[in-house]
Amino acid sequence: MSENKLANKKVVIIGGTAGIGLAAAVAASEAGAIVWAAGRTEANLEKARSVANGRFQVVQADTHDAAALEAVFREAGPIDHLVSAAIGGERTLKPFLEQTEEQFKAAYDKLWGYAKVVRTAAPFLAEQASITLVSGSPARKIKPSQSALSCVGASVENLARCLAVEMAPIRVNIVSPGTISTSMFDWMGEEKAEKLKAMTAGHLIKRPGTSEEVAEGILFVMQNGFVTGTTVDVDGGRILS
């Protein structure tokens, strides 16, 4: 029987009140970790509290609010595992030349948010802590109208590699999801399942992924002490198709 490496470990997940972040909070708590799931909107906070049902703490914090972040990190510290899965910015999906400069810049709020999370958390990290940032397959598999999404994703992945070098022995990794069936696609309405199936028809695994499957990748990089500076793809083979 394998050792439970998350038992009684302190885990903070920024963007942990919806989608992939919430799935990671549930999975980590089920593995015995002491979890803080932080989110921004009251609707997501309320949903997360219902899902948590007392199993983990749900707190309000935004990637751009250093004071709120510090309050969470100070309460949780020393933090064994830090995850940032927050979107953090508005992404415009249209051709580059049809975007305004402001729209293109807005996507980078995700990068600035992640940078603020790491900077603010650093004094509260355990000596052998891990940091996991969530990117996305468009960072390396580019389609038309995804320039902002792709560029910020690539920047996040390179930031993680830089931090892995500078912050060692703290481990820093990326988990990169593909097309995942989350509330991000709820705007599709009743056609959501059909449209996601069509979107993934050309992938090696011909279906959208689940938040729980991405959470498994996050827990993997938390627990494997020999993995750092690495991007773990949980994308159904999207970048190869």
Report pLDDT digits (tens) over 158-217: 999 999 999 999 999 999 999 887 766 766 777 888 888 888 899 999 999 999 999 999
The answer to the question of residue 191 being in a domain is: yes
**Per-residue pLDDT, 192:** 81
What whole-number percentage of the chain has pLDDT above 90?
Answer: 85
The answer to the question of residue 3 being in a domain is: no
Per the structure, how many domains does the chain have? 1
Residues of the chain with pLDDT under 70: 1-2, 183-184, 186-187
Q: What is the pTM of this model?
A: 0.94
The answer to the question of residue 88 being in a domain is: yes
In this structure, what is the dihedral angle of CA atoms 95, 96, 97, 100, given to the nearest 10 degrees? 110
**Per-residue pLDDT, 1:** 41
The answer to the question of residue 143 being in a domain is: yes
The answer to the question of residue 16 being in a domain is: yes
The answer to the question of residue 135 being in a domain is: yes
Query: Which domain CATH number covers 165?
Result: 3.40.50.720
The answer to the question of residue 5 being in a domain is: no
Per the CB < 8 A criterion, the answer to whether 17 and 47 are in contact is yes
**Per-residue pLDDT, 184:** 64
- What range does the domain containing 119 cover? 10-240
The answer to the question of residue 2 being in a domain is: no
